[in-house]
Amino acid sequence: MNLIVDAGNTYVKVAVFQGDKMLFDESFKKERFQEKIKKILKTHAEVDKMITSSVTKLSDATKQFLANLDIKVLKLTHETNVPFQNNYATPETLGVDRIALVVAAVTQYPKQNVLVIDAGTCITYDFKTHEEIYLGGGISPGIQLRYKTLNLLTANLPLLTPKMPESYIGNTTESAIHSGVTVGTITEIDGIIDRYKEQFTHLTVILTGGDANFLAKRLKNTIFANSKFLLQGLNNVLEYNRYND
Binding residue per annotation — 9?
yes
| 49-54 vs 72-75, strand pairing mode | parallel
Cα separations in angstroms, 30 against 64, 166, 192: 15, 38, 34
Whether residue 97 lies in the annotated active site: yes
| 203-208 vs 113-119, strand pairing mode | parallel
> With contact defined as beta carbons under 8 Å apart, do 121 and 144 qualify?
yes
Binding residue per annotation — 11?
yes
Binding residue per annotation — 25?
no
| 203-208 vs 2-7, strand pairing mode | unpaired
Binding residue per annotation — 118?
yes
Q: Quick one: which of 135, 57, 133 has its CA closest to 125? A: 135
Binding residue per annotation — 10?
yes
Q: Measured on CA atoms in the order 150, 154, 159, 164, is the torsion positive or negative?
A: negative
Binding residue per annotation — 102?
no
Binding residue per annotation — 77?
no
Binding residue per annotation — 191?
no
Binding residue per annotation — 182?
no
Binding residue per annotation — 98?
yes
Binding residue per annotation — 12?
yes
* Catalytic member of 97, 126, 190, 245: 97
Residue 163 carries which DSSP code? -
Cα separations in angstroms, 216 against 142, 162, 177, 188, 220: 14, 15, 20, 13, 9
Which phi and psi angles does 130 have, rounded to 5°?
A: -65, -15
Binding residue per annotation — 211?
no
Q: How far apart are CA 15 and CA 1, in angstroms?
A: 10
Name the binding residues for substrate.
Answer: 88, 95-98, 173
Name the binding residues.
Answer: 6-13, 88, 95-98, 118, 121, 173
Residues serving a catalytic function are 97
Name the binding residues for K(+).
Answer: 118
Name the binding residues for ATP.
Answer: 6-13, 121
